Amino acid sequence: MKRFYALLLLFFTFLSVQAQILDPVSWRTSVEKKSDTEVVLVFDASIEHEWHMFSQFTPEGGSLPTVFEYKNAKGNFELVGKTKESPYKKVYSDIFEVDEYMFEGKAQFKQTVKITNPNLKSISVYVEYQVCKESCIQQDKTFEFKLPPMNVKASEVAVATTSVDTDSAQTAVVQDSVSSSDVKKAVASAKTATNGKKEEKKDGLSLFFMTLLAGILVTFTPCVFPMIPMTVSFFLKQSAKGNTTKGKLNALFYGLFIIAIYVLISVPFHLIEGLSPDIFYEISTNVYLNLFFFAVFVIFAISFLGAFEITMPSSLANKADNASNLGGIVGVFFMALTLIIVSFSCTGPALGLVIGSVLSTDGGATLLTIAMLGFGVGLALPFMLFALFPSLMGNLPKSGGWLNTVKVVFGFIELALAFKFLSMADLVMQWHLLEREIFLAIMIAIFIGLSLYMFGKISLPHDSPINNISVGRLLIGLVSLSFTIYLIPGLWGAPLNLISGFPPPMTYSESPYGVGSSKGGGTSENHSALPEGAHYGPHDIVAFKDYKKGMAYAKSVNKPVLLDFTGNTCANCRRMEELVWSKPEILPILKDKVVLISLYVDSQEPLPENEKYTNKNGKEITTYGKKWSDLAITKYEANVQPYYVLMDLDENNLIKPVGYTPEISEYKTWLESGIAKFKK
């Protein structure tokens, strides 16, 4: 009956849309001859105003992507690479909690095909896509490409523009295979389109200001700060020669060129052919890349502490410096390039931190560009500001030992962040090299070192003699010492909510229940034997990692199942466990009223040979992590962690699944609503 109402609702949605417009997308197809054996199939889509369709690569868990299926290929032709598409627009969906890649106005797709059968007359291509406005329509079409004679010279181009719609194209949304999730998508699509832009703007804006601050702070390092008066004086001399406008204009261009150079660093991530749109998620859990970032950050930290300098080749700096003498706008550009090259020993580590942080958090190419823009603006701002308003130069502090102090503070912070990358690799591989106590001990040692340095108790190679401690230095030292004292109880099992999600979880520990405590709530009392396949999860919640055993146990005790799609490196998962699950309003529910099955989507544990398979997209599923990720995507259309599903013993959803829900009352209401439906 529920299925009938879902179909009925979708049917009326479809009718209301069709009353307004028959088909929001019109297509033109053509064939371009590339060589004697290769042709390019071209699909041009014109999309009606206010409608949008989705990229082939829009992340799983959101709206349905465009899919191309090339018929009659066997023995007739081979596909050369993937189907290419025109640039898409990325919009964050707060409904599905993923970025969605969409086209508005028009879209173009191209597929190169190598003909292996010279007698082949045509190629049939089946296309499925979703187009949305206030509601969504699923469409399917079949295009028939008539091929030109293959003995025509490569320079000649033949074009065929025939397209045949399938009879079912207009009724694709009303099929027996439509699920209730399709109805939800139809209802939620309007919110996705309007709210997604706002959410992306919010995230990008916060990232911009964070990296802007980083760029400004980098100017207070020994490599950059002394160059401010030198550079500004150059533009002031131009103004002194009677051309005030030219001097200020060149100063403005100087800052803009600094910004442009940093932004250009992010461009390859937009242009590299074949770069998967979800590559940033893969990066965030890639063991080798996390180990690489760890090594790079350690090297940068040691450099900041004064062991050596990381510099660009002197020949490169000399060439840029010589080119800056050309004069005019070209000379100003090379002046900006010279600044970036010669200051690399100070800006390089900070820049690596910006890039590494975005890449390791599934940030995406757009957010990387925003981060580089912010960093460039922060670095360029002081140069432009003092050139345009030279009277402010008198307020600048004089160069001195404090510049090296700033650099050393960066070094300590960079060293601490390096171990976060090592911890992520360790968690994914479950090496248990950097368990919670060891991780916290390293953090404590680093910040004790920073505190002692700020109090003048230790000195480093490039430090000037300290006769007294400045107020600023004292305050930074006190903050560092306070943070160190806060971390110490964590060695004995304190939750450390202030940095929840940053260190490894409590369960990844030498003493998961605190020193002197045992399983079962932190006491030494005896407990009944665990069910087969179960273990004690966060806060002694009985949990399963084996899906089948967890379901079998739930049936034996007649309780609903809480399916927890999580990850070893998922910071928000740890925050939920430490800040929400631990609360007295929530913990009894998780312990007594549901059966918890936690599925780790980044687990590297290999599947048994007889359980390995290839999914419908041709991806080989060889580990438990890939298996659970594939389950989340194919069954629940979700690719975010954490993701919580409350279901009955027949594996039907009791309530709409939710993701990260830090509001305790909201999460409690969600749990209780699902459990109440189970009892009916």
3-state secondary structure 28-93: EEEEEECCCCEEEEEEEEEECCCCEEECCCCCCCCCCCCEEEECCCCCCEEEEEEEEECCCEEEEE
Intra-chain end-to-end CA distance of the chain, in Å: 17
Query: Which of 43-47, 182-186, 608-612 is predicted with the least confidence, judged by mean pLDDT?
Result: 182-186
Residue 79 predicted with pLDDT over 60: yes
Residue 653 predicted with pLDDT over 80: yes
pLDDT for the residue numbered 96: 65
Which strands form 542-544's sheet, in the order they lie side by side? 534-536, 542-544, 595-600, 561-566, 643-647
pLDDT for the residue numbered 367: 79
**Mean pLDDT across the stretch 464-477?**
87
Domain 534-679 has CATH 2.40.40.20: no
Query: Greater confidence, 32 or 159?
Result: 32
**Mean pLDDT across the stretch 208-218?**
86
pLDDT for the residue numbered 494: 85
Is it true that the peptide bond before 465 is cis, omega within 30 degrees of 0?
no
**Mean pLDDT across the stretch 333-355?**
75
Mean pLDDT: which of 19-23, 380-384, 450-454 is highest?
450-454
Model pLDDT for residues 516-531, shown as the tens digit of each residue: 555 444 433 444 578 9
pLDDT for the residue numbered 275: 46
Q: What are phi and psi of 84, to 5 degrees?
A: -85, 155
Model pLDDT for residues 396-455, shown as the tens digit of each residue: 666 567 778 888 888 898 899 889 889 888 888 888 899 999 999 999 999 999 999 999
pLDDT band at 495 (very low <50, low <70, confident <90, very high): confident
Query: Greater confidence, 667 or 190?
Result: 667
| Shared fold status for 2-195 and 534-679 | no
Cα–Cα distance between 553 and 167 in angstroms, integer? Answer: 48
Cα–Cα distance between 489 and 485 in angstroms, integer? Answer: 8
Residue 154 predicted with pLDDT over 80: no
Apex CA 110: angle with CA 28 and CA 616, to 5°? 105
Model pLDDT for residues 304-327, shown as the tens digit of each residue: 888 877 665 566 556 655 665 666
- As a whole-number percent, the residues of the chain with pLDDT over 90 amount to 27
Residue with token string 């190679």: 461
pLDDT for the residue numbered 15: 38
Residue 187 predicted with pLDDT over 80: no
pLDDT for the residue numbered 180: 39
pLDDT for the residue numbered 108: 94
pLDDT for the residue numbered 564: 95
Residue 51 predicted with pLDDT over 80: yes
Model pLDDT for residues 349-367, shown as the tens digit of each residue: 677 667 766 655 555 677 7
SS3 call for 245: helix
pLDDT for the residue numbered 550: 94
CATH architecture entry for 2-195: Sandwich (2.60)
Helices (H) and strands (E) in the chain, counts: 19, 17
Cα–Cα distance between 312 and 341 in angstroms, integer? Answer: 6
Residue type, 246: K
**Mean pLDDT across the stretch 641-658?**
92
pLDDT for the residue numbered 7: 38
Residue 54 predicted with pLDDT over 80: yes
SS3 call for 562: strand
Residue 192 predicted with pLDDT over 50: no
The closest alpha carbon to 548, from 566, 568, 532, 567, belongs to 532
What sign for the dihedral angle of Cα 487, 489, 492, 493? negative
Mean pLDDT: which of 124-138, 202-216, 613-627 is highest?
613-627
Residue 83 predicted with pLDDT over 90: yes
pLDDT for the residue numbered 159: 39
Query: Greater confidence, 312 or 645?
Result: 645
Which strands form 77-85's sheet, in the order they lie side by side? 25-33, 38-47, 106-115, 77-85
Mean of pLDDT over the chain: 78
Residue type, 81: G
Cα–Cα distance between 295 and 306 in angstroms, integer? Answer: 17
Domain ranges of the chain: 2-195, 219-403, 435-517, 534-679
pLDDT for the residue numbered 522: 40
pTM over 0.85, yes/no? no
Mean pLDDT: which of 15-29, 33-47, 233-247, 440-454 is highest?
440-454
